[in-house]
Structure 1
Amino acid sequence: MSKQSKRGIKGQDASEGNSFLSTTPITGSANANATSEATPSVSMTEALLKSISAAVAEEGKRILLSVNESFGKLEAKVDNMMKRIDDVAVTTAALATRQAEAETRISHLEDGIAPIKKHLDSLLIANKELRDKVIELECRQRRKNIRILNLKESTEGNDPTVFFEAFIPKLLQLPVTTIPIDRAHRGFGIPEDGRPRAVVLKLQRSRDVAMVMSAVKRQGNPQHEGRTLRLVPDTPPEVRAARRAFNTVCAELIKRDIRFRMAYPAILSFKANGGQKSFKDPNKAEAFLSSLT
């Protein structure tokens, strides 16, 4: 290559180098402009982040304070509840102790009552037996007694024994003129509602009692001074009450034209369904009559 050509190439390279150098200041100016434009954006971001961080921190403090207050109230309520639970536990323990004591006492009482109840049952049985014997003895003592009902007061005068010795045979038209009587008296108390008190006669002989009661059964209730008198055996009040309990049954038997008798002390007997029936309980007798067609 000729020297001239080499110079031409070097000149070209130099011109290209100069052109490159001439462009370098332009690129630096562009970077500076870009940096100046990015700096305000970064500052705004940092400010926003700081603002958010401060707001979050403030909200966190507020929430933490609220949570602490809630926990404080909850702890107070829990403490109060625990105190009440402790009180209930103490009361329950006291009640359990008292219940155990009560159960122990009740157990002791039951153990003590068992023999007492057994003894009481035996006493009740013995009392009933003795009561029945007393009533029976009283009935035996009254076997010779006759009660006269609906006889006007003061009819017997001052000496009722002498009066009734002659009055009874005449009233019933007996084959004797007098009947020996040990004593005669009116029932105790004051007459009520104008009804005369009953007269109680104690005859000396059982055969005279049988004769009087047979005459009453044969003739019916006698009349005296316009009054219908009733002569009945003198029985204890307990026996009379037991017999009165059969009044409804007896009325039904009379309505059905069924003959009956009352045995001592209060046993109702009559014939029905081809057999003899006896009842000590008026309810059972009434139920039996209801079952009859």
Structure 2
Amino acid sequence: MEECSERHKDLHGMMEPSSTRNSSERCPCPLNSQDYTQEDHNYTYHNQGEDLMDIKVEIKAEEEETYVRDDQQSMKEDGIAGSFIEEDTPTEISTDLTTIQEAMFVKFSSLLEKGLANTANQITNTIKADLSNLGARIEAIEDKVEATTARTNQNSAHLRTIQDQLDMALSRIDKLENRSRRYNFRIRGLPETFSDIPSTVQDIITALIPNIPPQRLELDRAHRSLGPPRQDGSPRDIIVKPHFYAVKEEVMRQSRLKATLQHQGHQIHIFADLAPTTIQRRRTLKPLLTVLSQRDIKYRWTFPFAVKFSIQGKTHSFATLQEGERLLLGLRLISHETPMDFTPASSGSTKRPPPGSPVSPLWSKGPSKKSKEGKPP
């Protein structure tokens, strides 16, 4: 090889490598041949370029074949290789592409199913945890509702007892207040223009009891009811307390015997001085009193609170609206079809609503989670 000239190095490069030959062998280059002439040298040198081009084409073809072979081996390892490399017809190439697409679709479908399964498992686990949490919270709420319902029913029973005791206490207070007012009576209808109240009251008493001695006309108190003058212009009541209780009782008796009472041309009315709550309770009985008045049945109020009347020589009395309704129905003074207004006279009515029924839960309590877990399958 060292005996060859530089211009033949390319030719040596395309030949067999020197490592495969013995060192004693002579270089096969034609330049070293004894029979090599100048004409042969010119021919070899002229065709050297064409030989190099052919060799390069063959090397490129071998490289492409090696690349296809490696790609085919890789596709075989992935399970999607086919024999389309070795086939050249369009029909077979189309068939191989379809096969490859189907194989890729199957592989992608498998990957998608695995991903969806993992996602579904994650969502299911999250929902199960949330449901378990909600179940525990609902169970706690049910326990609280049950305890609250029991406590409410217990409190309702205590409340009814307390209401009964309160009604009894208020009734006794009303009696005490009415007893403190039992010496008094009220005169209604005198205009506010009457300024000398004591003299006016003594004149009214004298008109009702003509033969009363002057010393019996002594008054402990005589004045207008407390509060400013009324906006509607109606006069305020005059509250009178005679010094002698007998005088008050005689005035009340004489006033009931007279159909009308007048003083200096003004019609007046005389009433007992009662507690405001007693007056309110009397107003609730107004529908029944209206029925008695329409039947020309005289009635009177007894102390501290009751209505008394007589019919066919027999005396009857009632103290509540329900009791009076039953009594008038029994006497056939009213019927179930008789229209009556039982609306309370004002919002300050002392009538108590009927007691309500015990409170029951909105739903029945379900089995607890602990009982479900402890129950054998």
| TM-score, L = length of structure 2 | 0.53
**Structure 1 residue corresponding to 2:166, chosen from 105, 121, 127:** 127
1:254 aligns with 2:293: yes
Instruction: State the one-letter code of the partner of 1:190.
Output: P
**Structure 1 residue corresponding to 2:204, chosen from 143, 156, 168:** 168
Cα distance change, pair 183–90 in 1 and its aligned pair in 2 (3 A): same
Instruction: State the one-letter code of the partner of 1:168.
Output: I
1:216 Cα deviation (Å)? Answer: 0.8
For 1:64 and 1:245, locate their aligned partners in 2 and report how far apart those are by CA, in whole Å: 95
Q: Flag structure 2 segments of 5+ consecutive residues without an equivalent.
A: 1-86, 339-377
1:180 counterpart residue number = 218
For 1:105 and 1:141, locate their aligned partners in 2 and report how far apart those are by CA, in whole Å: 52
Moved more, 184-193 or 77-86: 77-86
Q: Flag structure 1 segments of 5+ consecutive residues without an equivalent.
A: 1-46
For 1:67 and 1:268, locate their aligned partners in 2 and report how far apart those are by CA, in whole Å: 101
1:247 Cα deviation (Å)? Answer: 1.6
SS for the counterpart of 2:335 is helix
1:10 counterpart residue number = none
Q: As a proportion of its length, which structure holds more helix?
A: 1
For 2:310 and 2:103, locate their aligned partners in 1 and report how far apart those are by CA, in whole Å: 105
> What is the root-mean-square deviation of aligned Cα atoms in Å?
3.5
**Structure 2 residue corresponding to 1:85, chosen from 113, 124, 136:** 124
1:222 aligns with 2:258: no
Contact 2:204 2:263 in 1 (8 A): no
2:276 counterpart residue number = 237
**Structure 2 residue corresponding to 1:267, chosen from 306, 329, 337:** 306
Cα distance change, pair 58–108 in 1 and its aligned pair in 2 (3 A): same
1:23 counterpart residue number = none
1:177-204: CA deviation from partner (whole Å, max 9, x where unpaired)? 4523211221111112111111111223
Cα distance change, pair 117–143 in 1 and its aligned pair in 2 (3 A): same
1:243-267: CA deviation from partner (whole Å, max 9, x where unpaired)? 1112222222221223333334443
1:290 aligns with 2:335: yes
Cα distance change, pair 259–168 in 1 and its aligned pair in 2 (3 A): closer
Identity of aligned residues (%): 22
1:152 Cα deviation (Å)? Answer: 1.3
Contact 2:186 2:271 in 1 (8 A): yes
Counterpart mapping for 1:52-201 below 5 A: 55=95, 58-106=97-145, 109=148, 117-157=156-196, 160=197, 162-164=198-200, 166-176=202-212, 177=214, 178-192=216-230, 193-201=232-240
For 1:112 and 1:286, locate their aligned partners in 2 and report how far apart those are by CA, in whole Å: 38
Contact 1:142 1:235 in 2 (8 A): yes
